[in-house]
Amino acid sequence: MKTILITDDSESIRELLSFTLENAGYKILSAVDGEDALKHLTGGEIDLVLTDLHMPKLDGIGLIKKIRAKPEYQFVPILFLTTESQTEKKEEAKAAGATGWIVKPFVPEKLLATISKIIR
Amino acid sequence: MDQFRIKFLEEAADLLDDLEKILLELEKDGISTGSIEHIFRVMHTIKGSSSMFGFDVISEFTHHLETIYDLIRSGKMKVSKEILDATLVSVDHIRKLLTDENLSNPENISNHKSIGQTIKALIGAENIAKERIAFKEIQEHENSFFTYYILFKPTKDILIKGNNPLFLLSDLQDMGESKVLWHMQEIPDFIQLNPKECDICWEIFLACKESSSEVRDVFIFVEDQSELIIEELAKENLFIKKKFVEHLDNIPYKSPIIDLTDLKDFIQGLKEDESKQKKKKERSIENKTDKSIINKEGIISSIRVSSDKLDDLMNLVSELVTTQARLSLYANNNIAQNELSAIAENIEKISRQLRDNTFSICLIPIENMLTRFQRLIRDLSGQLDKKIIFLSEGTDTEIDKTIVEKLTDPLMHIFRNCIDHGIENKETRIEKGKPEEGTISFRAFYSGTNVHIEIKDDGGGINPAKIREKAISKGLIAPEIQLSEKEIIDLMFLPGFSTATHVTEVSGRGVGMDVVKRQINAIRGSVHIESVIDKGTTITLILPLTLSIIDGLLVQIHNTKYVIPLSVVDKCYEVKSENILNLFDNILDFEGGLIPFFNLREEFGIKMTPPEIQQVIIVKHNARKIGITVDYVIGEYQAVLKPLGKLYQNTDIMSGATILGDGSIALVMDTVQIVKKFSARNVI
């Protein structure tokens, strides 16, 4: 079973994502911001990181950089959540090492489709 | 979804309270970067989450607020009292929208408008324009294919970003038919090899219905980290073209990246070859006022083969087809042997192709003959002082070479008649208001399993009254007989007929249409004349595509099978034998017409009792219908015609024989001869 780490400061989004992904057969780890997320990245198996960009303490871009700096998580796919009007952020996130993105608002099907393109 | 909505409502309420607190602090204590960040984040969250849970009105409303705070935090805008006021008012409004998400309360509606306008005004026109709104092009594509060339050269660190090129290739291959070439030239030696790097690049050929932007979408996450070329090669599926697939298969193992221009040239070349092939089958109108027909096809490579070799080949192929029919029959009767059926089917397919191929080898285009006619027309028109324009159409129509050889004579006769009797002299033409030059046009085309040759002139046409007169004066018809115009014109086909008042040097001895008819019938064709006085005459020849195959009707009399050519068969009726035998003379009444018939059992001298019900096959003979009786009609049959042996050369009523699938022999009837022979005895 694949494990996905969800990082978002909005509880409702976290819950929605958990619900959708668990029903699709993934194991979910949750974090409320970047710092919290790092607590899960201690060597255990993570198959995908799904993170929002705007969070307190450590935001999305910062989190991505930190993940890429860890040798055991060098290849883990990272998808960030973004709204359509934020193309500069997209480039910044890609430069920091993100694999791809999910556009908000998203329908669950699109979310699952994009994820299945990344982890198989 | 409900539990999430509730969650969202709770969360949103909390966020709004939070926001209010910060805004008030901001007003009192002044700006701090932290607070602006915070406000922006809240706006962002509210905007994103509300759209996720169906609160689109809120999402839209918050959009501009988010923009304002984004601009403030990036230094492009300064916080002002107006902004803070507007934000606070917005907080109240959003609270209300949480319970009126569809904006139905009139008070909310008017607030929504006014606050919205205020906010927009605060942003200023240029900043609104800078807001990027992405939109997706909705591609409407019909059911059409495209073939793409894709060059995908990822940067070395693509793997480190969590992307897997193989997934992308797999996505591409799921879209349609594809061929992938990989290039490993960049992979360093083992010592220098870094497994974390991607050193491979790929070239992909893909045929699918998607547009090129949809193909590009597959690479959406890696586009900026790769060299990506997507070129549309064709607006069709090139993989169905054998030559294209071969070309791709032939690319050697370690070749460098394809030269796209070369590839495009190759595809262009394929298309041109195909359209040339198409043109050969289509009719091309060539309007020439001079004698020569220039061959536009250019040089086609070919070799000479002796006709004997071709004849041998044809014979062998025909026998193959016959034997294969037996094999198929055997396989059908032993259906339990699966492999046998499969093999028989395969052999049938191949032999059919072989036969079609071989027949087409023996076909030559008509235009080879035309030079002779052009020469004739030129000479004659000179001699008779008539100006003639010769037009030809469809000269690339191909006919069996044996037929072509036998066509020359009759065609020459027809042309002679045209020029001599058809086209009037200059003065008469001008009198009639026609152009001085006469036009003779030659047209050849395929129709069904026949070749039609049409020779048209714009001369004086045929005068039925004159024909009738002549026929009477030659004793060919009785004066009181009533004939339709067509039947009168057909009188021209009777032997000994010629309206020329004198035998011209040019036309020779009354080149009767009867001669032409006989020659054309000998190659199993037919002649037809149509004419309008003063307008012109059209002579049409209908010829079979090949002499050695006949489409026929397989019938049985007693225990012998016969084939009657379908071209003469008109209809088929069932009759009780007793009705046939009890007639005084051989005439039957069918659908309101009296049709004479031959009782073939009688004629062939078969004494045994006939079956209760017989079949009468109505065949066309000249313009008339004659019936012939058979026991059974078995069905349609394509017969490979074989000549009868030397001993039977003088048999006139059978034109040959054919070998049936079960190995037995069926005789092919020549209905014309049958009618002639038996009518000599019986008076019709």
Q: pLDDT digits over B193-249, tens only?
A: 888 889 999 999 999 988 888 899 889 888 888 899 998 888 888 888 888 888 888
CB contact under 8 A, B221 and A100: yes
pLDDT for the residue B592: 66
Structure tokens at B274: 């195909």
Say if CB B564 and CB B669 are below 8 A apart.
yes
* A38 lies within 8 A of chain B by CB: no
Instruction: Summarize the confidence of residues B45-57 as an average pLDDT.
Output: 87
Instruction: Summarize the confidence of residues B20-39 as an average pLDDT.
Output: 82
Instruction: Give the CA diameter of chain A.
Output: 35
Of B47, B67, B132, Cβ closest to residue A87: B132
Helical packing angle, B106-123 and B81-97, nearest 10°: 150
CATH class belonging to B146-273: alpha beta
pLDDT for the residue A88: 73
Whole-angstrom Cα distance, residue A84 to residue B60?
13
- Between 3.40.50.11810, 1.20.120.160, 3.30.160.270, 3.40.720.10, what CATH number should domain B2-130 receive? 1.20.120.160
* B48 lies within 8 A of chain A by CB: yes
**Beta bridge partner(s), residue A83:** A104
- Chain B CB contacts of A55 under 8 Å are 41
Helix (H) or strand (E) holding B145, with range, is none
Beta sheet of B177-183, edge-to-edge order:
B177-183, B201-208, B146-154, B226-234
Domain-wise residue ranges, chain A: 3-118
**Domain covering B549-681 in this structure, CATH number:** 2.30.30.40
pLDDT interval class at B402 (50, 70, 90): confident
pLDDT for the residue B582: 64
Which range among B4-13, B434-443, B482-491, B573-582 shows the weakest confidence by mean pLDDT?
B573-582
Yes or no: is domain A3-118 CATH 3.40.50.2300?
A: yes
Whole-angstrom Cα distance, residue B651 to residue B165?
79
Whole-angstrom Cα distance, residue A5 to residue B450?
75
**Domain covering B365-544 in this structure, CATH number:** 3.30.565.10
Coil vs helix vs strand at B459: coil
Say if CB A35 and CB A57 are below 8 A apart.
yes
* B648 lies within 8 A of chain A by CB: no
* A116 lies within 8 A of chain B by CB: no
Whole-angstrom Cα distance, residue A37 to residue A30?
7
pLDDT for the residue B510: 45
Which range among A100-114, B275-289, B508-522, B630-644 shows the weakest confidence by mean pLDDT?
B275-289
Whole-angstrom Cα distance, residue B401 to residue B547?
10
For B52, list phi and psi in degrees, rounded to 5.
Answer: -65, -35
pLDDT interval class at B137 (50, 70, 90): very low
ipTM of this complex > 0.95?
no
- Chain B CB contacts of A56 under 8 Å are 38, 41
pLDDT for the residue A29: 94
pLDDT for the residue B127: 62
- The more confident residue out of B111 and A49 is A49
pLDDT for the residue B623: 66
Say if CB B317 and CB B355 are below 8 A apart.
yes
pLDDT for the residue B34: 81
pLDDT for the residue A4: 95
**CB-facing half-sphere around the CA of B632: CA atoms within 13 A:** 8
* A25 lies within 8 A of chain B by CB: no
- The more confident residue out of B622 and B476 is B476
**CB-facing half-sphere around the CA of B412: CA atoms within 13 A:** 16
CB contact under 8 A, B7 and A12: yes
Instruction: Summarize the confidence of residues B476-492 as an average pLDDT.
Output: 82
pLDDT in tens, B141-158: 456 889 999 999 999 888
Residue in B9, B38, B52 to test binding to A, most A beta-carbons within 10 Å: B52
Determine the distance in angstroms separating the CA of B105 from the nearest CA of chain A, rounded to an integer.
26
CB contact under 8 A, B48 and A9: no
Chain B stretch 612-641, residues whose beta carbon is closer than 8 A to a beta carbon of chain A:
none
pLDDT interval class at B448 (50, 70, 90): low
pLDDT over 70 for what percent of chain B?
89
Amino acid at A83: T
Say if CB B363 and CB B400 are below 8 A apart.
yes
pLDDT interval class at B283 (50, 70, 90): very low
Chains A & B: contacts with CB separation below 8 Å? 92
Residue B140 clears pLDDT 70, i.e. is over it: no
Residue in B9, B221, B222, B225 to test binding to A, most A beta-carbons within 10 Å: B221
Which range among A37-51, B48-62, B556-570, B644-658 shows the weakest confidence by mean pLDDT?
B644-658
User: How many other β-carbons are positioned within 10 Å of the β-carbon of residue B556?
Assistant: 16
pLDDT for the residue B502: 47
Minimum Cα–Cα distance from B60: chain A residue:
A105
Say if CB A92 and CB A4 are below 8 A apart.
no
pLDDT in tens, B452-481: 899 999 988 888 888 888 888 888 788 888
pLDDT for the residue B143: 65
Residue B4 clears pLDDT 60, i.e. is over it: yes
Chunked into runs of 10 residues, chain A (120 residues) has average pLDDT values of: 92 91 93 91 91 90 93 91 77 89 87 88
CB contact under 8 A, A15 and B7: yes
pLDDT interval class at B413 (50, 70, 90): confident
Chain A stretch 49-88, residues whose beta carbon is closer than 8 A to a beta carbon of chain B:
54-56, 68, 74-78, 81, 83-87
CB contact under 8 A, B167 and A85: no
Residue B615 clears pLDDT 80, i.e. is over it: yes
pLDDT for the residue A28: 94
Average pLDDT of chain B is 81
Alpha-carbon dihedral B656, B658, B663, B666, rounded to 10 degrees: -70
Say if CB B395 and CB B280 are below 8 A apart.
no
pLDDT in tens, B292-303: 334 444 455 677
Whole-angstrom Cα distance, residue B148 to residue B483?
68
Residue in B38, B161, B224 to test binding to A, most A beta-carbons within 10 Å: B161
Residue B29 clears pLDDT 90, i.e. is over it: no
pLDDT for the residue B241: 85
Amino acid at B438: G
Coil vs helix vs strand at B681: helix
pLDDT in tens, B324-339: 877 887 888 887 888 8
Residue B684 clears pLDDT 50, i.e. is over it: no
Alpha-carbon dihedral B71, B73, B78, B79, rounded to 10 degrees: 110
Of B52, B59, B220, Cβ closest to residue A13: B52
Determine the distance in angstroms separating the CA of A98 from the nearest CA of chain B, rounded to an integer.
6
CB contact under 8 A, A105 and B162: no
Q: How far is CA A51 from CA A74, A86, B41, B423, B441, in A?
A: 16, 15, 14, 92, 81
Determine the distance in angstroms separating the CA of A113 from the nearest CA of chain B, rounded to an integer.
12
Residue in A21, A53, A83 to test binding to B, most B beta-carbons within 10 Å: A83
Say if CB B413 and CB B515 are below 8 A apart.
yes
Those residues whose C-beta lies under 8 Å from the C-beta of residue B25, and which sit 6 or more positions away, are B35
Those residues whose C-beta lies under 8 Å from the C-beta of residue B381, and which sit 6 or more positions away, are B387, B388, B419
CB contact under 8 A, A118 and B162: yes
- Chain A CB contacts of B43 under 8 Å are none
Those residues whose C-beta lies under 8 Å from the C-beta of residue B607, and which sit 6 or more positions away, are none
Residue B545 clears pLDDT 60, i.e. is over it: yes
pLDDT in tens, B585-596: 777 777 767 888
Amino acid at A89: K
